[in-house]
Amino acid sequence: MLDYAHLEALLSVEREKSFEGAARSLGITSSAISQRIKTLEERIGAIVLNRQTPVTTTEIGSVLCRHAETVLLLEEEVMLQNQQHMQSSKTATRKIKIAVNDDSLSNWFMEVLRENSKEETPYLFDVSIADQDYSINQMKSGSALAAISTEKTPVQGYQSTFLGIHVYRASTSPAFVERYFPDGVTIEALKKAPALRYSSEDDLQQQWISQVFGVDLQPTSHTIPSTHGFVNACLADIAWGMNPALLVDDHIKNGELVELVPGAALNKPLYWHCSRVIAKPFKKFHKKSHGRRKHLSGPEHSINRDS
């Protein structure tokens, strides 16, 4: 059996990124945190922390943290069902680590967080930004209990719920089109016109070019790690980018932005993956927010995969 005081110390270090921060959050000394981590590592025969600044968990450390979160959630759900413990459970910190793509976080996902905030005992979230095409890796490695992904099939122990289609439009300003595409949007013009890239993992521009023109082309690009930054860069005549329809449709309607190829949107299916431990409490406010995701379409259904 693992000592949950040791796991609690590890979880606190992961959240606070330092031994000192973990000590403050638990109300004990830094040396006590260090001793608990050392004992845990000796017990399992593996290193659980990368001791640089900021401190991060190793792969096995992340798995242990998600295990600790799961156990805490199970315990607190039991307490919530027992009236004599209700008062103490109200002050419990039910924190969940989730991975969300910035396009969703900047738009409809805030409604999910809003619905959660209305609960009598709301969860706290440790949100990390992850590309929807790669976020499944965070669940496979145990570094997130929930995530938004384009992957349909859930990993073991998780449930996958289809959210709908996220619509992206290849768009930019009329002035940019006039400068870089005076004779229309062609392959040669796309090779020269700067695009926008969220990160090294972002290949939506390539996917759109492949879908519309049938060629594999990686355009020259600026890197701007911000969904709203993408839109602002396009409005400022800096580049073209794959922008969420919800953020640019009004700009397109009033002429501030235009689609490179009108009507040629890139549609990405989105799935909500979460551990079956948190699937039931999440579903309550997840359903309430579903109707507000106006840029997503399609029926909601779930897929389970046993551990």
Question: Which CATH number do you get for residue 11?
Answer: 1.10.10.10
pLDDT at 125: 86
Query: Do 216 and 227 belong together in one domain?
Result: yes
The dihedral built from the CA positions of residue 120, 5, 274 and 84, taken in this order, carries a sign that is: negative
Question: Residue 259 pairs with which residues in a beta bridge?
Answer: 171
Q: Are residues 80 and 103 in the same domain?
A: no
Q: Domain check: are 67 and 163 in the same one? A: no
Q: What one-character-per-residue DSSP string does 132-194 give?
A: TTTTHHHHHTTS-SEEEES--SPPTTEEEEEEEEEEEEEEE-HHHHHHH-TT-S-HHHHHHS-
Lowest mean pLDDT among 41-55, 83-97, 250-264: 83-97
pLDDT value of position 254:
97
pLDDT, tens digit, 9 for 90 and up, residues 13-59: 998 999 999 999 889 999 999 999 999 999 999 999 999 889 999 98
Whether 271 and 149 have beta carbons less than 8 Å apart is answered as yes
pTM of the model: 0.73
E strands present in 41-157: 49-50, 56-57, 95-100, 124-129, 146-149
Cβ pair 76, 67 in contact under 8 A: no
Last residue of a domain, one of 42, 75, 93: 93
**One domain, residues 301 and 187:** yes
- Which residues are CB-contacts of 86 (< 8 A; sequence separation ≥ 6)? 79, 80
236's tokens: 């400022």
Q: Do residue 169 and residue 192 come from a single domain? A: yes
Which structural domain, as residue segments, surrounds residue 55?
A: 1-93
The CATH number of residue 115's host domain is 3.40.190.290
Same domain, 223 and 118: yes
Instruction: Say whether both 8 and 104 belong to one domain.
Output: no
pLDDT single digits (tens) 137-164: 888 777 788 899 999 998 888 889 898 8
- Say whether both 144 and 288 belong to one domain: yes
Give which of 244, 254, 243, 242 is closest to 210, Cα–Cα.
242
Report helix angle 30-44 to 19-26, nearest 10.
110
Q: Contact at 8 Å (CB) between 121 and 89?
A: yes
- 145 and 264 share a domain? yes
pLDDT score of 76: 67
Q: Is the pLDDT of residue 262 over 70?
A: yes
* Domain limit, last residue, from 49, 67, 93: 93
- Scan for tokens 């919800």, then name that residue: 246
